[in-house]
Amino acid sequence: MNKTASAQGLRIAFYCNLMGWPKRSSGGVRQWALTMANALVERGLAVDMLCEAPASRFVDEPLLDPRVGRVILGRGLFARFRLDAYVRRHPGVRVVAALNHYNIGAARLKQRFGPRVHVMLTQRENLSADASWLSWHKYAKAERGVRRHFSRADAVVSVSEGLTRDLRDNFGVDPARLHTIYNPAYRARFVADAALPVDHPWLASKDRPVVIAAGRLHHVKGFDTLLDAFAQLRTSVDARLLILGEGKERQNLEAQVQSLGLSDAVQLPGRVGSLAPWMARADLFVLSSRREGLPAVLIEALAMGMTVVAARCPSGPDEILEEGRWGQLVPVGDVQALATAMAQALEQPAPDRDALRARAASFSLERALEQYLHLWQQPPSA
């Protein structure tokens, strides 16, 4: 009997921020929750999405399978009362939370209901790396929250081995509760999207190499480092750079482009639909982040068979690239090393695209589902 068959009868509830309300949004969490919920309901399991978003935005979510239940919790005390009522209606429900606010709420739910609910917390950020940019009181609050609440969960899942080590070694999370399950970043639909058209002149008729990067325009993504490195690269290679994404650092990055004299070689097109067709037409993907959990965008680049260069940030790139086997790793924030790696990557022969795609496929949905189902089949602890 396979794990899906033996899991029939379970109810899975995703407790996370699907709609970016209030200011606790994460595109990666949204993609993970939608992918997992849709896959589980397709396999015949009962699945609900618990959300604090405004009802109209949540109910109309077009990418969520209509068979997935939509439970509007509201906000504040109303959210707690409705969450408790939900557990009373569904004793034994498997609640899986993502991001700090929801992890703490789910841990408190376990404290209130004990064996009547199975609680899984998921960790997607390297908390120790956060110490370098969070104010001391915000970091101290986050640290207290982890130490106090994670011990209550039935299971704690992190999306990379680096995060698992961080929780175990620096925050005292019980190793018996800790599990590593990579995000299901490889999707066949994403690979198929490579055939979609791209309306950008630099990719339509290429007369020089195009470097691509993608993510929130935020300090942690290290795009300022990438721009400095790209300016150095341009002294020897006539290349172009596209940074896809949106965020609060746009104005600063555009000013940096101007000051470096790169206006004719760098563009920030903003958000795009699927990254696949952009990646399929570019020559090099660069991840310049200062910190990550498990960067799905790097896996997506491998799925497109791209040559990649990545900063060895905590956590994930070294695991995805297996210490440089599938792409170059450079120190975080090292402008010269990044410029040199980009130049080498653009000069080297085309990679074995089939091998890169096979590596990306190891981060598949099927593999992640099997691991999650195994944990959900364990009885709730007291």
CATH number of the domain that residue 148 is part of: 3.40.50.2000
Residue 143 lies in a domain: yes
Q: Do 142 and 195 share a structural domain? A: no
Q: Do 242 and 163 share a structural domain? A: no
Q: Do 98 and 146 share a structural domain? A: yes
For residue 207, what are its two tokens? 């007369």
Residue 66 lies in a domain: yes
Distances (CA, A) of 180 to 124, 158, 357: 11, 5, 22
Distance, in Å, from the CA atom of 52 to the CA atom of 38, rounded to the nearest integer, reads 19
Residue 382 lies in a domain: no
Residue 381 lies in a domain: no
Report the length, in residues, of the chain.
382
Q: Do 128 and 207 share a structural domain? A: no
Opening angle at CA 156, ends 311 and 32, nearest 5: 60
Boundaries of domain holding 119: 3-184+364-376
| Residue 144 pLDDT | 82
| Residue 308 pLDDT | 99
Residue 124 lies in a domain: yes
Residue 127 lies in a domain: yes
Q: Do 231 and 357 share a structural domain? A: yes
Distance, in Å, from the CA atom of 283 to the CA atom of 135, rounded to the nearest integer, reads 39
Averages of pLDDT over each 10 residues, the chain, 382 residues: 68 83 59 93 96 64 89 88 97 95 94 98 86 70 83 96 94 94 92 95 93 96 99 98 97 99 98 95 98 94 98 96 98 99 96 96 95 97 88
Q: Do 262 and 331 share a structural domain? A: yes
* DSSP for residue 125: S
Looking only at Cα atoms, what is the longest distance across the chain?
A: 66
| Chain segment 28-57, per-residue pLDDT in tens | 788 899 999 999 999 999 999 998 866 555
Distance, in Å, from the CA atom of 163 to the CA atom of 160, rounded to the nearest integer, reads 5
Are 289 and 220 in contact by the 8 Å Cβ rule? The answer is yes
Predicted structure pTM score: 0.87
| Chain segment 183-213, per-residue pLDDT in tens | 999 988 899 999 999 999 999 988 999 999 9
Provide φ and ψ at 105, rounded to 5°: -60, -40
Q: Do 11 and 146 share a structural domain? A: yes
Q: Do 166 and 30 share a structural domain? A: yes
Q: Do 335 and 194 share a structural domain? A: yes
**One-letter identity of residue 223:** F
Query: Residue 68 burial by CB count (10 A; 0-12/13-18/19+): exposed, middle or buried?
Result: buried
For residue 298, what are its two tokens? 């790097």
Q: Do 213 and 113 share a structural domain? A: no
| Residue 25 pLDDT | 47
Q: Do 371 and 224 share a structural domain? A: no
For residue 337, what are its two tokens? 């090393």
Distance, in Å, from the CA atom of 358 to the CA atom of 12, rounded to the nearest integer, reads 30
| Residue 138 pLDDT | 73
Number of compact structural domains in the chain: 2
Q: Do 196 and 143 share a structural domain? A: no
Distance, in Å, from the CA atom of 164 to the CA atom of 109, rounded to the nearest integer, reads 23
